[in-house]
Amino acid sequence: MADNGKRIYVAGDQQGHPLRKEIMEFLRSKGTICVELGVFEDDDQAYNLIERELFEKVNEEPDSLGLLVFGKHEVAATGEGEESKK
């Protein structure tokens, strides 16, 4: 497969790894260079570090892109945005 010169840095949490793998396989089949940065273990501290690493890689390489894929997403129900019922 020909190298199209595009580089994508991919990162996220451990639960997002299977989806990251699928995305990277697809992109590589199109000639995109994919660099997996992790995270490969469930570590909340690592998430903050990996996001920063991804940002720094993309910032150092202006023609590159970054993709964060998270499989774990917790949302707290606050009731905000709901219409009040009177």
Q: Does any domain span residue 36?
A: yes
Total number of domains constituting the chain: 1
Name the residue range of residue 13's domain.
7-69
Instruction: In whole angstroms, give the CA distance from residue 71 to residue 25.
Output: 18
| CATH code of residue 23 | 3.40.1400.10
pLDDT digits (tens, 9 = 90+) for 25-70: 999 999 999 999 988 777 767 777 888 999 999 999 989 999 999 8
Q: Does any domain span residue 75?
A: no
Q: Does any domain span residue 81?
A: no
Range 11-30 average pLDDT: 91
Between the CA of residue 63 and those of 22, 31, 44, 49, what are the distances in Å? 23, 15, 29, 22
pTM more than 0.75: no
